Amino acid sequence: MKKFIYAFLSLFVLLITILVVAANSSYVIKKLADMYAPDYNISYDGIDGNILTGVKIAGLKYEGLPLTDEITFSWNPSKLLYKRIAINSIDVKNVDIDTLKALAAHFSDDNQSALGKDEKERTSSSAPFAFSVAVKWASVSFKPFRIEGVSLSTLFLNTRGVLYRSGGLEVESVKLETVSSVGEVLLSASLKNRILSFKRLNLAKIDTKAIEKIVADTRRYSKDQTHGDTAKQNTDNPLIPKVVMVRSLHVDLLPAVFEPVHLHTAVLDAEAIQLDMKSLMLSSRKIDLNMTTNLSNVVEHGAVRANHFGGNIVITPHQRLYKLYHLPLRKKAIGSVQVDFNASRKKISVDICSKAKNILELPEDGEGNRTEVHIDIDSLLSHVVFDFQSKKLKADTKVTVTTPYTEEVTLGNYFEMEVDKQVRYTGDISIPKLRGLDVNLSKLLKNLQLHYKGTLHRVSATLNADALEGSFVSNDLKKGMVHLQTKAPLLLKELVKMPEKLSEGNVEVFVDMPVDFSKSVPLEANATLVSNLANINVKAVYGDHVDLSLTATMPKDSLLRELAPKVKWDTLSPMYANMVLKEHTYRLNLRTHTLNAKLAVPTKEGKVFGKVMLPGIQADIKGKLGSNIVLHSDIDDAKQLFDAVDSVYTLEQLPNVKGALLLDATLDAEQNLTLRLQSPQIRYDADRETEYTIDDLNVVLAKHGSRITLDMYSFVYNGTKLYANKPAVIVLKDNTLFIEEFWLNDQLKISGGLDFKQMKGEIDTAAQKFHISHEFADIDSNIDLKTVFNGNKTNINGKITLLGGNIHYDLSTKTFPSDSDIVIVQQQKESEENSFVNNLSMLVNIENQKPLVYKEGPVNVKSNLSLVVHKAPGTQPVVLGSIDIVDGSSYLFQGKRFVLEKSHIYLTGDPLKPLLDLKVKYKGLRHLITVTITGTPAVPNIMFSSVPSLSKEQILSIILFDSEEGAGTNDANAMMKMMGGVMAKSALNDLGVKIDHLVIGAGSIEVGKKLTDKITVIYINGEIPEMKMKYEYNPNIEVVIGASEKSESADIVYKKDFNLHEKDIVIKRR
Distance set, CA 779 to CA 248, 765, 789, 808, 851 (Å): 109, 18, 30, 11, 11
Residue 994 forms part of a structural domain: yes
Main-chain dihedrals φ then ψ at residue 137, nearest 5 degrees: -150, 140
Q: In what order do the strands lie in the sheet with 42-43?
A: 42-43, 61-62, 65-66
Average pLDDT, the chain: 80
> What is the reported pLDDT for 832?
54
Q: How much is the average pLDDT of 999-1016?
A: 66
> What is the reported pLDDT for 36?
57
**302 CB neighbour count, 10 Å cutoff:** 19
* Full DSSP string of 763-774: EEEEEEEEEEE-
pLDDT band at residue 821 under the 50/70/90 scheme: very low
Which SS3 state, helix, strand or coil, does residue 302 take? Answer: strand
Least confident span in 148-162, 552-566, 819-833, 902-916: 819-833
Residues 432-483 have pLDDT tens digits of 887 777 676 677 788 889 999 998 889 999 999 988 999 999 998 888 999 9
Q: How much is the average pLDDT of 995-1012?
A: 62
**458 CB neighbour count, 10 Å cutoff:** 13
Statement to judge: residues 440 and 302 lie in one domain: no
Statement to judge: residues 72 and 188 lie in one domain: no
Residues 463 and 449 sit within 8 Å (Cβ to Cβ): yes
Closest CA to 356 of 325, 378, 340, 341: 378
Residues 84-99 have pLDDT tens digits of 888 888 999 999 988 8
Tell me what percent of the chain is helix, strand and coil, each rounded to the nearest 5: 15, 55, 30
**754 CB neighbour count, 10 Å cutoff:** 17
Torsion, Cα of 724, 726, 731, 736 (10° steps) = -50
998 has a pLDDT exceeding 90: no
Which of these three, 460, 482, 508, is where a domain ends? Answer: 508
Beta bridge partners of 855: 860
**573 CB neighbour count, 10 Å cutoff:** 19
Residues 162-214 have pLDDT tens digits of 988 877 889 999 999 999 999 999 999 999 988 999 999 999 999 988 888 88
Q: State percent of the chain over pLDDT 90.
A: 19
Q: How much is the average pLDDT of 896-903?
A: 86
Cβ neighbours of residue 569 under 8 Å, at least 6 residues apart?
A: 554, 558, 560, 561
pTM above 0.75, yes or no: no
For 161-171, give one letter per residue: b (16+ CB within 10 A) or e: bbbbbeebbbb
Q: How much is the average pLDDT of 628-651?
A: 84
Residue 598 forms part of a structural domain: no
Statement to judge: residues 351 and 377 lie in one domain: yes
Residues 338-380 have pLDDT tens digits of 888 787 778 888 888 888 887 777 666 556 666 666 788 888 8
Cβ neighbours of residue 872 under 8 Å, at least 6 residues apart?
A: 841
Distance set, CA 158 to CA 161, 173, 177, 178 (Å): 11, 8, 9, 12
pLDDT band at residue 334 under the 50/70/90 scheme: confident
Greater confidence, 706 or 847? 847
Statement to judge: residues 358 and 478 lie in one domain: no
Q: How much is the average pLDDT of 802-811?
A: 71
1067 has a pLDDT exceeding 60: no
255 has a pLDDT exceeding 50: yes
Residue 41 forms part of a structural domain: yes
Statement to judge: residues 320 and 366 lie in one domain: yes
Residues 716-740 have pLDDT tens digits of 887 788 888 888 887 777 778 888 8
Statement to judge: residues 448 and 408 lie in one domain: no
pLDDT band at residue 549 under the 50/70/90 scheme: very high
pLDDT band at residue 589 under the 50/70/90 scheme: very high
> What is the reported pLDDT for 816?
45
Residue 821 forms part of a structural domain: no
Residues 824-864 have pLDDT tens digits of 444 445 555 567 788 889 999 989 888 888 777 777 888 88
Cβ neighbours of residue 556 under 8 Å, at least 6 residues apart?
A: none
Residues 869 and 846 sit within 8 Å (Cβ to Cβ): yes
Residue 864 forms part of a structural domain: yes
Statement to judge: residues 258 and 308 lie in one domain: no
Half-sphere exposure of 490 (CA within 13 A, CB side): 23
Greater confidence, 813 or 674? 674
Q: How much is the average pLDDT of 249-256?
A: 93
817 has a pLDDT exceeding 50: no
Statement to judge: residues 440 and 397 lie in one domain: no
> How are beta strands 793-807 and 852-856 bridged, if at all?
parallel
Greater confidence, 940 or 748? 748
129: containing domain? 1-143
Which of these three, 478, 508, 538, is where a domain ends? Answer: 508
Longest dimension (CA), the chain: 201
pLDDT band at residue 535 under the 50/70/90 scheme: very high
Residue 76 forms part of a structural domain: yes
Say if residue 605 is exposed, middle or buried (CB neighbours under 10 Å; 0-12, 13-18, 19+).
exposed
Cβ neighbours of residue 1067 under 8 Å, at least 6 residues apart?
A: none
Which range scores top for mean pLDDT: 11-15, 191-195, 277-281?
191-195
Statement to judge: residues 959 and 1032 lie in one domain: yes
Distance set, CA 226 to CA 1, 217, 222, 230 (Å): 22, 17, 8, 12
In whole angstroms, give the CA distance from residue 433 to residue 425: 26
Statement to judge: residues 925 and 1042 lie in one domain: yes
Main-chain dihedrals φ then ψ at residue 784, nearest 5 degrees: -145, 100
> What residue type is assigned to position 72 of the chain?
T
Which of these three, 485, 508, 531, is where a domain ends? Answer: 508
Statement to judge: residues 344 and 249 lie in one domain: no
Q: Total domain count for the chain?
A: 6
> What is the reported pLDDT for 158?
94
Half-sphere exposure of 404 (CA within 13 A, CB side): 9
> What is the reported pLDDT for 1062?
41
Residue 784 forms part of a structural domain: no
In whole angstroms, give the CA distance from residue 33 to residue 7: 17
Residues 54-92 have pLDDT tens digits of 788 888 888 888 989 999 888 777 777 677 888 888 999
Residue 970 forms part of a structural domain: yes
Statement to judge: residues 405 and 333 lie in one domain: yes
Beta bridge partners of 392: 387, 418
In whole angstroms, give the CA distance from residue 401 to residue 399: 6
964 has a pLDDT exceeding 70: no
